[in-house]
């Protein structure tokens, strides 16, 4: 089963994708994580991507499509995969369909105020990559002992720009999957547990 997870920044797409992927033995492919790894490694691609990311813009289609297709070719996903953060433009969605078969696009939805609030509270561990919620933490340390940080692009101004970018460029992707009958919308203004349960029910339905 090959799935696409769609949703605005802050909707909880990443954590949910990690969880569902492990429960269903699917490969989790996050273009955001891949780009952050490139930045951390100081590659040419990373240096290029960083400029766009820190302004709340998308990395150009040409770059991101090549990166994603190379990844799909190099990984073996016998059971299928979850694409998290791709496609983010109409062009990316069309290009993807030329190469692989997507079974369903799960769209996670929540009001903008909820998204901004979640982004403001989001922290990440620079050592192990684990995500945290600031007001649920006891202190500033991850279980691994490292001090958590706010992602540069989670700062308020950039977060607003990312939401704006999403509404402008990624919203048409929803229509694209709607037109092909693959779109499944999920109300994500709920606990992680609640959203995971809804998605599990959807996947059970799809599996039958
Ligand atoms: P979020 O879903 O919270 O916005 P991601 O980790 O998915 O965060 O992505 C972070 C940034 O990486 C995006 O704001 C964008 O600049 C870049 N990026 C990730 N995936 C893509 C993509 N498919 N196309 C273009 N840019 C991307
Ligand atoms: Zn950690």
Atom of ligand 1 nearest to the CA of 52: 16
Q: How far is the CA of 144 from the centre of ligand 2 (A)?
A: 4
Q: Which helix (H) or strand (E) holds 131?
A: strand 131-133
Q: How far is the CA of 86 from the centre of ligand 1 (A)?
A: 8
Which ligand is in closest contact with the Cα of 144?
2
Q: How far is the CA of 127 from the centre of ligand 2 (A)?
A: 5
CB 118 less than 6 A from any atom of ligand 1: no
- Domain 2-26+79-111+170-205 in CATH: superfamily? P-loop containing nucleotide triphosphate hydrolases (3.40.50.300)
Check if the beta carbon of residue 86 is closer than 8 Å to that of residue 34. no
Q: Where are the domains of the chain?
A: 2-26+79-111+170-205
| Per-residue pLDDT of the chain in tens (208 residues, 90 and over written 9) | 999 999 999 999 999 999 999 999 999 999 999 999 999 999 999 999 999 999 999 999 999 999 999 999 888 878 899 999 999 999 999 999 999 999 999 999 999 999 999 999 999 999 998 989 999 999 999 999 999 999 999 999 999 999 999 999 999 999 999 999 999 999 999 999 999 999 999 999 998 6
State the pTM of this model. 0.90
Check if the beta carbon of residue 78 is closer than 8 Å to that of residue 154. no
Report the relative pairing of strands 104-109 and 3-6 from DSSP bridges: parallel
- Catalytic residue list: 13, 88, 122, 151, 162
């Amino acid at each position: 089963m090959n799935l696409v997870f769609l949703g605005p920044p802050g909707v909880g797409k990443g954590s949910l994708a990690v969880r569902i992927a492990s429960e269903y033995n699917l490969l989790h492919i996050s273009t955001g994580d891949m780009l952050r790894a490139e930045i951390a490694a100081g590659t040419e691609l990373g240096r290029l991507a960083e400029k766009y990311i820190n302004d709340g813009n998308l990395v150009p289609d040409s770059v991101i499509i090549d990166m994603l297709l190379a990844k799909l070719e190099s990984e073996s996903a016998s059971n299928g995969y979850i694409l998290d953060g791709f496609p983010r433009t109409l062009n990316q969605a069309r290009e993807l369909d030329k190469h692989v078969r997507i079974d369903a696009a799960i769209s996670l939805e929540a009001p903008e105020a909820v998204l901004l609030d979640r982004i403001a509270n989001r922290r990440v561990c620079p050592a192990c990559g684990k995500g945290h919620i600031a007001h649920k933490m006891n202190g500033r340390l991850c279980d691994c002992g490292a001090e958590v940080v706010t992602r540069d692009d989670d700062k308020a101004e950039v977060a607003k720009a990312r939401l704006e970018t999403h509404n402008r460029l990624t919203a048409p992707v929803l229509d694209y999957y709607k037109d092909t009958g693959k779109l499944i919308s999920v109300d994500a203004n709920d606990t992680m547990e609640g959203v995971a349960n809804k998605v599990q029910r959807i996947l059970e339905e799809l599996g039958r």
